[in-house]
Amino acid sequence: MSANILVNDLRCESLQNPIGIDTKQPQLSWKLIAKRHGVLQSAYQVQVSKTITWDEFVWDSGKVLSDNSIAVKYVGQALESRQRYFWRVRIWDENDSPSGWSMVAFWEMGLLNPNDWAAHWIEPEQDAAKPEPPINMFQNLGTISPQPDADYARLNPAQYLRKEFSAQKTVAKARIYATAHGIYQLSLNGARIGDIELAPEITAYDSYLQYQTYDVTKMLATGKNVLGAILGDGWYRGRIGLPGDSCQYGDKLALLLKLEIEYEDGSRETIISDESFKSSTGALVYADLFIGERYDATLENTGWDRLGFEDSAWKNVNTANFGYNNLVAQYGEPLRIVQEIKPVAIIKTPNGETVVDLGQNIHGKIRMSVQGTTKTEIVLDHAEMLDADGNFMQQIRGRNKDQRDVYVCKGEDVEVYEPFFTTHGFRYVRITGYPGEPTVDDFIGLVIASDLRESGSFTCSDERINQLQENIRWSQTGNFVSIPTDCPQRERAGFTGDAQVFIPTACFNMDVHAFFTRWLRNLQIEQREDGQVPATVPYWRSYIEMFTPIQGGAHTSAGWGDACIIIPWTLYQSYGDERVLAENYATMLRWLDYVRQEAESGIPERLGELSADARERQKHLWNTGFHFGDWLIPSLTGGYSNPFDAANATKEVVASAFYAYSTELMTQIAAVLGKEDDEQRFAELNEKIRSAFAKEYLGDDGSLPAHYQGMYVMALKMKLMPAEMRLPVTEQLVGLIAENGYRLDTGFVSVPYLLDVLSENGRQDVAYKLLFQTQCPSWLYEVVRGATTIWETWDAIAPNGEVTLASFNHYAFGAVGDWLYRHVAGLDKAQAGYKHIVIHPHPDEHLTHTKATYQSVYGEIVSGWELEDGLLRVDAKIPPNTTATLRLVGANGQLVASELPTTQSGNDLLVEVGSGTYRFEYPYSV
Ligand code: BGC
């Protein structure tokens, strides 16, 4: 009997049909589609073959009794370089009825061995870039691009490379494997290859440099062809990070490339990067990833990327021996233009300037159409904000933050310019020198981000909250750019703290499984010998130089380094992937070992002589050293003017709280991985930290010496008190919030837990009040002020209208998104990967309806509620191969008996269900 189930959405390493991967035992997943309710998988069979005719299997799992459909590890024959593998799946349902075979999917391997390359790294003849002198931006926070013009003179030209070759027979398959020092774009016979941006992206290049694989089968001509490449500075030698230093990884651009052609007759041909390539500079006079680029179309080497171009005047390239050991296949989704935005207006500002308004703050670039006479120079300056008077302003801290692109017209009909190797964080573009009057049709905003699949949506009856959700999503798009960046204009650095704060929200909005898996692999690489996990990953030299002096030589901070535990744990929770825990386990242990040593050896000086008891207790408190604390608490830092005040006032409590939290998570991680000794050890340590904390810091009235909202939030979240003290601690928190006029006063690391600890401790009313607050500081204050992204500081536009030097695209405070999905709409889980789902809406008087959707690894989950005429309607959708508890708030005694098994829990009714859609309706008042 057939199970009437469709097996679909086959994914390999969370991607559909990836090419050029190098995971030796890829993880496979699929979803089930069925009309009926209560579908479960009881067994599966996976078949993998080199041929689509299934002549021979490299792996046939046979019927495996298992409900695993989300992370099935390939355990067949060793996978071979370049080989494409076809695969299909069938399953058996809970009645042991089989499904049919799924549609066929595939993955294709990249180059698995260094020997496969046999290409040379080539460097165009070029002047080595001169490193910029370091400048400690944390001590120069007011600096804004001091000498733009002088700086431009020191920027480097892009390099163009070309090679002609012939492919004489009919091509069956052709692949290019390529990477660069710098960023690169390839072309074949004048056409751009692929649509990915800023390859090879940013990773810890010295040990992890990605190469990309391109299918160029259809682009090759029979006969002569010409391969072109352009190289720009990118992260490799451009001016990156807050300090804006150049040459982080090297001072010369280079290319590594291999084209492999397979002809229909079975013969092969290979073109490699070698001395036969020619190189030149060209129209890209300079191209810096952050500052901007200058494209002088009059300098174009017309036809350089096509056949027959006379390149005898071009320079040679030199081969260089950088080896292949740091090469890794692109893992996860590449960067792409993920959206195009038409401007909403062209503004004439009060001081007479022309400014394009995209209506949305983005990360990306602008495409411009222009018709001008030869040498007409158009300057495009990018900014996130206009000032209080509506004039264009440059408001990004740091040197080298100009965000200025310049286009010099060739003098043709209509010319279209789109920057190659630069991106900006902006909503507004000031246009200077444009011939005639530009219109909105002359510009398009191009949003550049890692091309992640949208996985969630949250909507409700309040448009301001919907806008908040939109702003969160936009800040995620603007900052999930190869790595999770702090902001897309000033620093673009992979701040570990920001990432851990935001990851639960990120997992709802988009499929970030592969994205974070890759970043964590880089985190492992960047972990210091002594276990410290740096504040940024990758850990650029400029950050080492900037941070270590202010951090007393340290490289990390509580809440930042803990990302190595919190992030894998959250990924495991969201995607059910145990491998991510196993892969990062050694890093976690080393991190906690570092923290333990710091805690045991460091005793705050102010304590003086200690009793034996107190000394013992101090061992379990991580209360010394540098920390960012509850970064950017508004009442302490006054915007960004003194960020370290909040850090200093809160670091003791924050560091000990994270020590407790990370050991708590480690207890659970060790349990998942079956490491019983560690589980036991961390459980004991966690207990000791929590009781030491309570003894050291907690007053009888529930007060803490650092009397700030965030500290109570942390204490409650990390359970740093005996159970009977939860109430007084909650009262302290609520007291502070009330004193502050129901406005929040939390920094980066406490904000994710603020609304949770209130609602979990009986004060959902206060949580909702904070959510709906519109006075500064609050989430809706930003919305009311017209924000289209999440700001770095709550008062980035001060209540008096002043536009400050903060970033307007920092996702950290958007961490509330998780609570919207999970608490307001009630889309939650009781088992990793949403294997067991909990639907638990929390209606409130501020709203009449909400709906959350989430594309889980098992399929779509929906949780929604609507309150109308005293009736509460709850809608739920549960995907196959999962089960769910629907927790119907206030339904006990109200619901007409359902056929489904129910239990009572206080005023609520719990209904146990399998897959399917469900609707319940019952009298309810808020
Ligand atoms: C970044 C942050 C970061 C903080 C603390 C700032 O410059 O923009 O978001 O977490 O430094 O290191």
d(CA 496, ligand 1 centre) in Å: 9
Distance CA 180, CA 257 (A): 8
Predicted pLDDT of residue 412: 85
C-alpha 242 – ligand 1 centre gap (Å): 9
Nearest residue CA, atom 8 of ligand 1? 486
Beta strand residue intervals within 292-387, DSSP E: 292-296, 315-320, 327-329, 335-341, 345-348, 354-370, 377-383
Percent of all residues in the chain with a pLDDT value above 70, rounded to a whole number: 97
Q: Quick one: tokens of 798? A: 């001060």
How far apart, in whole angstroms, are the C-alpha atoms of residue 99 and residue 308? 57
Joined together, the tokens standing for residue 607 give: 């304590």
Ligand 1 neighbour 805 (Cβ under 6 A): no
pLDDT at 640: 72
Q: Are 554 and 529 in contact (CB under 8 A)?
A: no
**CA gap 563, 501 in Å, rounded:** 8
Q: Does the C-beta of 535 come closer than 6 Å to ligand 1? A: yes
Question: How many CA within 13 A on the CB side of residue 478?
Answer: 34
Structure tokens given for 322: 């950088």
pLDDT at res. 234: 97
**Going by CA atoms, what residue is nearest to atom 3 of ligand 1?**
495
Q: For 249, which DSSP code?
A: S
Helices and strands of the chain, counted as H and E runs: 18, 43
pLDDT value of position 139 = 61
CA neighbor of 774 nearest in space, from 359, 463, 470: 463
- DSSP class of 822: I
DSSP secondary structure, 841-884, as one string:
----TT-SEEEEEEEETTEEEEEEEEEETTEEEEEEEE-TT-EE
Q: How far is the CA of 807 from the centre of ligand 1 (A)?
A: 10
pLDDT at 357: 98
682 Cβ closer than 6 Å to some ligand 1 atom: no
Q: Is 56 exposed, middle or buried, given 0-12, 13-18 or 19+ CB atoms closer than 10 A? A: exposed
Determine contact, residues 750/714, Cβ cutoff 8 Å. yes
692, containing H or E segment: helix 676-697
Q: What is the helix (H) or strand (E) element at residue 263, kind and residue range?
A: strand 254-263
Specify whether the CB–CB gap between 209 and 179 falls below 8 A. yes
Using the atom order of ligand 1, give the atom closest to the CA of residue 242: 7
| pLDDT for the residue 439 | 97
Q: Are 891 and 909 in contact (CB under 8 A)?
A: yes
As to burial, measured by CB atoms within 10 angstroms (0-12 exposed, 13-18 middle, 19+ buried), residue 848 is middle
Contacts of 112 (CB under 8 A, 6+ apart): 22, 24, 79, 80, 81
**Residue matched to tokens 């006054």:** 638
CA of 493 to the centre of ligand 1 (A): 9
871-878 and 483-484: which strand pairing? unpaired
Q: For ligand 1, atom 1, which residue shows the shortest CA distance? A: 486
CA of 657 to the centre of ligand 1 (A): 20
Q: Does residue 487 have its Cβ closer than 6 Å to ligand 1?
A: yes
The phi, psi pair for 401, rounded to 5°, reads -120, 35
Angle at 766 between CA 763 and CA 769, to 5 degrees: 150
Q: What does the alpha-carbon distance between residue 676 and residue 462 come to, in Å, rounded to a whole number?
A: 48
Helix axes 764-772, 751-760, angle to 10 degrees: 140
Q: How far apart are CA 45 and CA 59, in angstroms?
A: 10
The minimum-distance atom of ligand 1 relative to the CA of 495 is 10
Per-residue b or e along 77-102, where b marks 16 or more CB atoms closer than 10 Å to that residue's CB? eebeebeebbbbbbbbbeeeebbeeb
pLDDT in tens, 781-797: 999 999 999 999 999 99
As a residue count, the chain comes to: 926
8 Å CB contact between 358 and 343: yes
Distance from the alpha carbon of residue 696 to the mean position of ligand 1, in angstroms? 29
Pocket test for ligand 1, best of 139, 489, 491 (most atoms within 8 A of CB): 491
Q: Quickly list H helices, 740-881.
A: 751-760, 764-772, 779-784, 817-819
| pTM of the predicted structure, to 2 decimals | 0.97
The phi and psi torsions of 216 (rounded to 5 degrees) equal -115, 20
Closest CA to 560 of 642, 486, 668, 665: 486
> Which candidate, 651, 649, 645, places its Cα nearest to that of 557?
651
In a 3-state reduction of DSSP, which class is residue 891?
coil
CA 488 – ligand 1 centroid, Å? 12
628 lines ligand 1 (CB under 6 A): yes
Whether the CB-CB separation of 601 and 95 falls below 8 Å is answered with no
Q: Which residues contact 746 (CB under 8 A, 6 or more apart)?
A: 630, 633, 709, 710, 713, 754
**Bridge partners for 8 per DSSP:** 31
Calculate how far, in angstroms, residue 486's C-alpha sits from the geometric centre of ligand 1.
Answer: 7
Closest among 737, 776, 740 to 754, alpha carbons compared: 737
C-beta 631 within 6 A of ligand 1: yes
> Which phi-psi region, left, alpha or beta, contains residue 332 (left: φ > 0; alpha: ψ -120 to 50)?
left
Q: Is the CB of 497 under 6 A from ligand 1?
A: yes
Q: Which ligand 1 atom is nearest residue 490's CA? A: 8
What pLDDT is attached to residue 58?
98
The residue among 482, 333, 495, 488 whose CA lies nearest residue 426 is 488
CA distances to 133, 335, 395 from 239, rounded to whole Å, are: 11, 20, 18
- C-alpha torsion angle, residues 816, 818, 824, 826 (rounded to 10): -170
Ligand 1 atom at shortest distance from the alpha carbon of 138: 7
Of 113, 89, 112, 116, give the one whose Cα is nearest residue 21: 112
- Atom in ligand 1 nearest the alpha carbon of residue 487: 8
Q: Which atom of ligand 1 is found nearest the CA of 628?
A: 5
* DSSP reduced 3-state for 632: coil
Q: Tell me, in angstroms, the distance from the centre of ligand 1 to residue 697's CA.
A: 27
Provide DSSP, 333-347. Answer: --EEEEEEE--SEEE
Burial of 166 (0-12, 13-18, 19+ CB in 10 A): exposed
CB atoms within 10 A of CB 257: 27
Residues of the chain with pLDDT under 70: 1-3, 134-151, 639, 896-897
C-alpha span between 529 and 433 (Å, rounded): 53
Q: What is the pairing mode between strands 223-232 and 183-188? A: antiparallel
Whole-number Å distance, alpha carbon 892 to ligand 1 midpoint, is 47
Return d(Cα 126, Cα 160) in angstroms, integer: 11
Q: How far is the CA of 748 from the centre of ligand 1 (A)?
A: 9
Residue with the smallest CA separation from ligand 1 atom 9 is 486
Output Rg (C-alpha) for the chain, integer angstroms: 29
**What is the structure's pLDDT at 150?**
56
Nearest atom, ligand 1, residue 631 CA: 5
- Say yes or no: CB of residue 486 within 6 Å of ligand 1: yes
Q: Does ligand 1 come within 6 angstroms of the Cβ of 495?
A: yes
CB 667 within 8 A of CB 718: no
Residue with CA at minimum distance from ligand 1 atom 2: 486
- The whole-angstrom separation of Cα 570 and Cα 503 is 7
Q: For ligand 1, atom 5, name the residue with the nearest CA.
A: 628
Contact 248, 540 (CB under 8 A): yes
Query: Is the beta carbon of 491 within 6 A of some atom in ligand 1?
Result: yes
Q: What was the pLDDT predicted at 140?
A: 63
Residue 49 DSSP code: E
Six-digit token string for 206: 């010295």
Q: Determine the 3-state secondary structure of 152 from DSSP.
A: helix
First-to-last C-alpha distance (Å) of the chain: 49
CB of 632 sitting under 6 A from ligand 1: no
| The predicted structure's pLDDT at residue 896 | 62
